Amino acid sequence: MTGSPIAEHARLEALLRAVAAACAAGGAGDAQTACDRLGQGLEAHLDREESLYFPPISALRPDRRGALERLLEGHRELRGALARLQGRLAERDLADGERALAVLARQLADHEADEEAFLDALDADLRETAQGLTTP
């Protein structure tokens, strides 16, 4: 999974829908397979943010470190919610799996909104700075 963080968010949402569809269809094996794909995609996304995106932002914009820490806390919460979902599906408990999926989906949507707002604010700051550099 590569691309912009926002494009990756859309792909993660599609993976969530695949898990939901497999759970609704009653296929525990299919749900677990879909969940494995979701887990791989989510972990790749979080790792990319943590290793590629966040360190330079933290270094260049120390004023944004608090916001980055909150986003990292969100990553820990997402990993926990994913682990709970994986546990339910490993036990072939589709009803609890669907509930765990709903929690993960809600946490992911909230986190994505926080990340996108963070990126929008950072972009606005950069544009304002750039404009100040080009305005006589």
Q: List, for residues 5-21, the tens digit of each pLDDT value.
A: 778 888 999 999 999 99
- 3-state helix, strand and coil shares in percent for the chain, rounded to the nearest 5: 90, 0, 10
Give me the pLDDT at residue 1, please.
52
Sorted by where each begins, the domain ranges of the chain are 12-131
More confident residue, 42 or 5: 42
Phi-psi region of 2 (alpha: psi -120 to 50; beta: other; left: phi over 0): beta
Gap between the Cα atoms of 38 and 131, Å rounded:
40
Give me the pLDDT at residue 136, please.
62
Q: Quickly state the pLDDT bin for 2 (edges 50, 70, 90).
A: low
Q: Which of 12, 81, 84 is nearest to 48 (CA)?
A: 12
Q: Which residue's structure tokens are 């989906």?
A: 105
Q: Is the pTM of this model over 0.85?
A: yes
Give me the pLDDT at residue 130, please.
77
Distance of CA 116 to the CA centre of its chain: 11
